[in-house]
Chains A and B, each alone.
Chain A
Amino acid sequence: MEGQAGSKESNDCLITIRKSDETRIEIDSIVDHLFHDQILKAVEETLKEENIENVFVLVEDKGALDYTIRARLRVAINRMNKNV
């Protein structure tokens, strides 16, 4: 019921996703003060593209660019679905 992808290396992020009653996104980023909204947008858009709802997503970010966040999230979603 849980999937994880990424790392806590510089310029990367670790994403954890699991099923939940409602969709909730938590961002813990070293660049939160500069890029909070953009990280949130990248996660929301990716969830929508993958038709995923009612999940809890934790983004532990070390300054990843958007394409990294999107890629990590997709892998985390795949892993969650395989774990079902």
Chain B
Amino acid sequence: MLNGVKRDIPKNLPRFISSDDFLNKSRRLIEKKKKQSKTVFFNSYDEVFDKLKIKDKQTLSFHHHLRNGDKVIQDVSKIIKKLGLKDLHFAPSSIFPSYTNMIDLIFNGNITNIHTNYLNGEVAKIISEGKLKGKLVMNTHGGRARAIESGDLGIDVAFIACPTVDKFGNGTGAIGKNACGTLGYCISDLEYAKKVVLVTDNLVGKLDSYQLNGEYVDGVLVVDSIGEAKGIVSGTTEITKDPVGLKIAKDCSSLLYELDLIKNNFSMQTGAGKTSLAVVNYVKDIMKKQNIIGEFASGGITKSYVDMLEEGLFKKLYDVQCFDLDAVKSFRKNKNHIAMSASEYGNPFVKNSIANKLDFVILGATEIDIDFNVNVTTDSIGYIIGGSGGHADIAKGAKVTIIISPLIKSRIPIIKEKVNTITTPGEDIDILITERGIAINPKRKDLIEKLKTTKIKIYDIKELLEKTHNLTGVPSKIKVSDDIIGYVEYRDGTYIDVLREVHNDYIR
């Protein structure tokens, strides 16, 4: 059966209709965890597994705030291997290349189903090649929170890596040797998982302020190390030197200016790449020149936004995860650098979510098609290389959603007739900016009208596709296997696309 973006979804599975369809549904909430009378302290992972009676087929969840520095998911994986538990369902908010201990567990059927919002590295590779016995479901950040609070994604035990925990079971990521800043992605896990274990390497007497409330915590495990804080750095502090990237960034800032999006009390979010950083710097120049003060920036916060907060260019930062150590430091000391949960960030059923308050967002794309559907999930062969994260959430929420990308990456055109996998529906993508031209979704007549009187030239996206093919040639159609390995779940819980096994011809 075809869904609302013309993808064939197997019968009896929830089909995506449109990004607004959730408005016809009401929010479902399971009961939050009962308050704990007293927090138990565990001595080892073995004891946690024993006391909580963790067994086959259960769902274990994790967050990814320590990213490539995370040791908790690695250590839990080791214990599962030792105990020989089978058919577990893993629900980490993301999977990073460093999570190598999951590989054997997938091959051997210890882990057979996975829910996650983003994955790359070896785990992504073997799942793409069909090694996961069950299915992979890929959520958005806001969608994962919705799935947990509604009971669609039930969690038996949440393992929450927490840089500092006090004797009452309250936790914070602001301090500790592995301080990683805000812990926004695990708040739903904390409030709704049947059992919650905070894993820390820094136990203190009493915390005055904390993000994780001890009343939801069943137990605390103190270990030597939860990870490596240096591994949490993601994104870059370097502005692109690539002339293509700079041209895109410059054109993007001119367009923002012409659309009158940079004005007092505006709000924005960008990615953490080198080109995004160049856009942020151009926006900063405009703000300074025109004496503009923005209401907030949100995201994954990086140093460039911290600098703007400190210079008074933004009143507030809303942060779901700190992308670098400067952001961690700022979160610790600046009361206007505010933590938000994944739900407050992008849950479709949270009316005042930060996503819904955004004036504009600047996002990337691996592929975009002539209907403006965006793929950030799979590469040109079909290997999983990422996932939505917050992409689909903020694309829906923001008033203007802009994709920036080079038109050609190593001969591969970014524009396709049809994207390999739909991560974000075209109805929520407004503008595509490439070094060789800008295209606007025909749906946004208002934006097209506004730009008519400016010097900015607008192309039909099909013209841009033709321009690309004149340079690269028309790419051959790729082969895909028929075997479904998983699904891309839209933020409202419906399936927007299926994920298929990479064709044998491409497996190396």
Which residues of A does B touch, CB under 8 Å?
10-11, 30-31, 33-38, 62-66
Return chain A residues, CB-CB under 8 Å to B473. Answer: 35, 38, 66
The smallest C-beta distance from A65 to any residue of chain B, in angstroms, reads 6
Return chain B residues, CB-CB under 8 Å to A31. Answer: 380, 410-412, 475
**B374-388 near A? 1/0 per residue, CB < 8 Å:** 000000110000000
Known: A33-B506, A34-B380. A11 touches B476 (CB 8 A): no
Residues A11 and B478 in contact, CB atoms below 8 Å apart: no
Which residues of B does A touch, CB under 8 Å?
380-381, 408-412, 471-473, 475-476, 478, 505-506
Query: Bound complex: CA of A34 vs CA of B410, how far in Å?
Result: 11
Residues B471 and A34 in contact, CB atoms below 8 Å apart: no
* Additional pairs, 9, CB under 8 Å, beyond known A31-B412, A34-B475, A63-B411: A10-B410, A33-B505, A35-B476, A36-B476, A38-B473, A65-B408, A65-B411, A65-B472, A66-B473
CB-CB nearest in chain B for A38 = B473
Cβ contact of A62, chosen from B381, B410, B478, B505, cutoff 8 A: B410
Residues B411 and A11 in contact, CB atoms below 8 Å apart: yes
Residues B471 and A65 in contact, CB atoms below 8 Å apart: yes
Return chain A residues, CB-CB under 8 Å to B472. Answer: 35, 65
Residues B476 and A34 in contact, CB atoms below 8 Å apart: yes
CB-CB nearest in chain B for A13 = B411
CB-CB nearest in chain A for B412 = A31
Return chain A residues, CB-CB under 8 Å to B381. Answer: 33
Between B410, B475, B505, B506, the greatest number of chain A beta carbons within 10 A of the residue's beta carbon is seen for: B410
Query: Bound complex: CA of A34 vs CA of B475, how far in Å?
Result: 5
Return chain A residues, CB-CB under 8 Å to B412. Answer: 31, 34, 63
The smallest C-beta distance from A58 to any residue of chain B, in angstroms, reads 18
- Please list the 6 inter-chain residue pairs (A to B) with the smallest Cβ-Cβ separation, ordered nearest first: A63-B410, A34-B475, A63-B411, A38-B473, A31-B411, A10-B410
Query: Bound complex: CA of A35 vs CA of B409, how far in Å?
Result: 13
Return chain A residues, CB-CB under 8 Å to B476. Answer: 33-37
Between A31, A38, A66, the greatest number of chain B beta carbons within 10 A of the residue's beta carbon is seen for: A31
Query: Bound complex: CA of A35 vs CA of B473, how far in Å?
Result: 8
Between B409, B476, B506, the greatest number of chain A beta carbons within 10 A of the residue's beta carbon is seen for: B476
Query: Bound complex: CA of A72 vs CA of B62, how far in Å?
Result: 50
CB-CB nearest in chain A for B411 = A63
Return chain A residues, CB-CB under 8 Å to B380. Answer: 31, 33-34
CB-CB nearest in chain B for A68 = B411
Return chain B residues, CB-CB under 8 Å to A36. Answer: 476
Query: Bound complex: CA of A11 vs CA of B243, how far in Å?
Result: 14
CB-CB nearest in chain A for B477 = A34
Query: Bound complex: CA of A37 vs CA of B506, how far in Å?
Result: 16
CB-CB nearest in chain A for B478 = A33
Query: Bound complex: CA of A28 vs CA of B7, how far in Å?
Result: 33
Residues B506 and A11 in contact, CB atoms below 8 Å apart: no
Query: Bound complex: CA of A37 vs CA of B475, how far in Å?
Result: 10
Residues B409 and A34 in contact, CB atoms below 8 Å apart: no
The smallest C-beta distance from A33 to any residue of chain B, in angstroms, reads 6
The smallest C-beta distance from A26 to any residue of chain B, in angstroms, reads 17
Residues B478 and A64 in contact, CB atoms below 8 Å apart: no
Query: Bound complex: CA of A53 vs CA of B75, how far in Å?
Result: 60
The smallest C-beta distance from A53 to any residue of chain B, in angstroms, reads 25
The smallest C-beta distance from A69 to any residue of chain B, in angstroms, reads 10
Return chain B residues, CB-CB under 8 Å to A38. Answer: 473
Return chain B residues, CB-CB under 8 Å to A10. Answer: 410
The smallest C-beta distance from B419 to any residue of chain A, in angstroms, reads 14
The smallest C-beta distance from A59 to any residue of chain B, in angstroms, reads 13
Return chain A residues, CB-CB under 8 Å to B409. Answer: 63
Query: Bound complex: CA of A27 vs CA of B408, how far in Å?
Result: 21
Return chain B residues, CB-CB under 8 Å to A34. Answer: 380, 411-412, 475-476, 478
Return chain A residues, CB-CB under 8 Å to B478. Answer: 33-34
The smallest C-beta distance from B241 to any residue of chain A, in angstroms, reads 14
